[in-house]
Amino acid sequence: MGILRVHFTADDLARVTIANEPDPLWEVAFTRFRLRDPVRPLAFTPWLNRLRASPDRCARIRAGGRVLDPLTPTGPYFPDFLTPNESARGLDAGLEALLSTPRRRLRRELRLLGERHRLPGWVRPLAEGDMMALRRLAGTLHAYHEAAVAPFADLVGAAAAADRACQSGNLLRGGLAGLFDGMRPLMRWQPPVLEVGYGLDRDLVLGGRGLRLVPSYFCQRAPLSLADQELPPVLIYPIAQRHRWQPVIGSAPALTTLMGRNRSAVLQSLDRPATTTQLARAVRISLAAASRHASALREAGLVRSWRDGNAVLHLLTPLGHALLQGCSSA
């Protein structure tokens, strides 16, 4: 394990941002890594179980993997053009940016990849900027995302909301030092350098550009950054395993008897922060019904709610935790 040393100036400290949610194209790459892992952490079991439950989805993922695996090999490098900065605005924006990648950059990044790994013949037109090859790649990325990432928005979104609440609390309590310290052991703040556990030793000089931190559900073990230091600085970090844990809805029969299936499922889903939309997805009820259940639980003192931008987050109160524990042991 190496160290990535991120060098800050005063201007950089004023330009540190945290993304609200994982980046779709980074998540695509990380799912390929996870599916090739010889040993997969328990945190990914809900995702893997739901993948395996759909033979059609598995077939689409295998088809996408045949194209994506040569471009995203396990190791310290894969091409930066696969994860453009624009994908922070969504999958479609990211794919549009990928289609506009300059030919010189495609050639350079794929040459670097080819120096480390043997590439199939179909990569050659891609390296030459052939638009049909780029469109096929963009189509593959879109189809793969729809099969391997998009159906699990409830898992990813709930984990991201929990991570955001945790990082916001660290920032409010301790400033940037508190934010970085809260991410130990992934990284260590040694002003003015952020030391990050990494696949190799390297330095990233921000030079006043700031740093965008992006949580990832599918990233594992260590953060990752872009290889090209001229690109906007970004650091993708794995969401803590405790935030990826999924409670088993319906595991407390006494609670279901007490308040009904849907309301008990909502309560059990709020062991970590979730928006009303995420609640609706997790319990498979309408947005209006999720809002009604959250309001009733809040009025009973079992849930607290607060605004986070345009969304409202909900979380169990100590009384809510006590009720869950009591019913689970009944």
- By CB neighbour count within 10 A (0-12 exposed, 13-18 middle, 19+ buried), where does 223 fall? buried
Q: And the tokens for 179?
A: 């934010």
What is the predicted pLDDT for the residue at 252?
A: 54
Could you give the 3-state DSSP secondary structure of residue 152?
Answer: helix
What is the predicted pLDDT for the residue at 321?
A: 74
- Interval 8-27 mean pLDDT: 96
Relative to beta strand 193-198, strand 187-190 is antiparallel
Please check the confidence at residue 248 and state whether its pLDDT lies above 50: no
Could you give the 3-state DSSP secondary structure of residue 76?
Answer: coil
Q: And the tokens for 82?
A: 């696969």
pLDDT tens digits, 273-296: 889 998 998 888 999 999 999 999
Helix (H) or strand (E) holding 321: helix 318-328
Annotate 121-132 with DSSP letters as a single string.
TTHHHHHTT-HH
The set of residues, in sequence order, having a beta carbon less than 8 Å from that of 61 and lying 6+ positions away, is 35, 51, 144, 147, 148
How far apart, in whole angstroms, are the C-alpha atoms of residue 100 and residue 196? 31
Relative to beta strand 303-308, strand 311-316 is antiparallel
User: Among 36-40, 53-57, 224-228, 240-244, where is mean pLDDT lowest?
Assistant: 240-244
Question: How are strands ordered across the β-sheet holding 193-198?
Answer: 187-190, 193-198, 2-7, 202-205
**Domains of the chain and any CATH numbers:** 2-20+154-240 (no CATH), 247-328 (1.10.10.10)
